[in-house]
Amino acid sequence: MAISFLSRSTSSLPRLAQHRHLIRVMVGRDLALRYRGSIFGIFWSLLNPLAMLALYTFVFSVILKVKFGVNGGTSAFALYLFCGMLPWLAFSEGVSRSTSVIIENTNLVKKVVFPLEILPLNVVLAAVVTQGIGTLVLLAAVLIKGVPISWTWLLAPLLLIPQLCWTLGIGWLLASMGVFVRDVGQFIGLALTAWMFMTPIMYPETMIPAKYQALMNLNPLAVIIHGYRKFILEGQLPSWRPILFTTVLGALVFLLGYAWFLKTKKGFADVL
């Protein structure tokens, strides 16, 4: 039964490619509407993470004296923190917004021909666009810091594959659940906060006790963030085994989330 469940979702995947123009238009519309009427516009996508970066750097690096590397100072901490924050913010935004994306588009639910499965995809891709803008700022900061350009920068986009698999898979699942259980959004807010502090974003992986180090490889965001830092900040190749495991498991989550959404979306109109 599980195999047939996944096979149906796999056979439906080409539908997403067929709607690529609609997806592109809706992602642009989402980004435009988000900052419409504001003075700084899309620059808020940078100002918010930069404000968080300044706050966390002050608290964790200046006050708590947390360091990345043996001789890492405040500037090195800020780079490592920013590099970890960008994928985390894209993931958490995509997941949290997916919980209410169907409810916010009730008018589209009534339209039988509209592909509802692209709604979570739109919010996830919009968050990735913001991550891309932040990454350009990160690369500029790395060059200003004097870190040489490395060929490993070209490999960093590969990490978007497991990142998108996890974000979309969870997003589709929560988008469906959010229609039937309105408390999902509140629960996910708490869960994401706990997940963030259990992921080495504001502290180095070496601070995790040895007996919990193995669990870090089961945290997909920890593996993905570690990979970004290796590729961009250290110019080195990370261990491929955890990345491969995270990618394969993420692909399974992707398929399960998509299959669940397709199976349950028929009941959305009855609830909304």
| 205-214 pLDDT per residue, tens | 888 888 888 8
* Region 188-205 average pLDDT: 93
Going by C-alpha positions, the residue among 150, 137, 158, 39 that lies closest to residue 85 is: 137
Tokens of 81: 């923190």
Under the banding of pLDDT at 50, 70 and 90, the label for residue 37 is: low
State the average pLDDT over residues 90-112.
89
Tokens of 223: 């593996």
pLDDT in tens, 242-268: 999 999 999 999 999 999 999 998 888
Q: pTM to 2 decimals? A: 0.91
Please state the rounded mean pLDDT for residues 167-175. 96
Give 238's DSSP letter. P
Considering only CA atoms, which of 156, 120, 177 is closest in space to residue 234?
156
